[in-house]
Amino acid sequence: MMQDFSNEKYLKAQFYQVDGKYERLEESHRQIDIDFKEIEKYLANINNVLDIGCFDGYFLSKIDCELKFGLDINLVNIDKCQDRGIPSLVCDIRYGLPEFIDEFDFINFRHTLEHIPRHKQKKVMADICSRLSDNGVLSVIIPIENLKEMTYKHPGMFSSVSQFVRLVPLNFRILRKKKIKKFDDSDNANYLFIICRKNFTGR
């Protein structure tokens, strides 16, 4: 029987580990709800979605489309994602995406790029962008302007918006850039939310 992840008692009993601290699943889900509102209008009329850094599949569970697929480096997250009935796979994107990952209409890439060393970020971004269909949309959320948060777990923190923009291929048009904060203002980090579409020339 599939676990009811909407059950409040279940959520309050569950924790996950982030940077040595345990945080509640419900807090992460609340942040995803806020992020989803920024993304929702770009999800209209799409056939498939890839979520890189899919966590427990909560983001994907909010989308109605033909194919949803999740990738995460954490096996526990993948197990939870599969418990929701969502196809998913353990993957360390620093070493490339699986060959069968291709032609997605929408790719969600939130709170993941900062975990990748800077010297590998351009290659990772190029790989991800190549897996979008024509006119496909990439959504990225990353922390910026808070280099105090740079640790061995976050070696790829960004000091400015332009530092990230240089990673976006030239055949992508940036549709939206917005700075957002964590829902509870519990840290000093700004987050950069970017939406870009494939197969445009110039900026």
Residue 157 falls within a domain, yes or no? yes
pLDDT at 189: 58
Burial grade of 175 (CB within 10 A; 0-12, 13-18, 19 or more): middle
Residue 111 falls within a domain, yes or no? yes
Residue 8 falls within a domain, yes or no? no
CATH of the domain at 144: 3.40.50.150
What's the distance, CA 162 to chain centroid?
19
- Provide the number of structural domains found in the chain: 1
pLDDT at 149: 58
Residue 106 falls within a domain, yes or no? yes
Q: Which domain holds residue 159?
A: 27-198
Residue 82 falls within a domain, yes or no? yes
User: Residue for token digits 């105090």?
Assistant: 148
In tens, the pLDDT along 113-144 reads 988 988 999 999 999 999 999 999 999 988 87
Residue 12 falls within a domain, yes or no? no
pLDDT at 126: 95
Give the chain's residues under pLDDT 70. Answer: 1-24, 145-153, 181-189, 200-203
pTM of the model: 0.82
pLDDT at 202: 46
pLDDT at 120: 93
Cβ atoms < 10 Å from Cβ of 5: 17
pLDDT at 157: 77
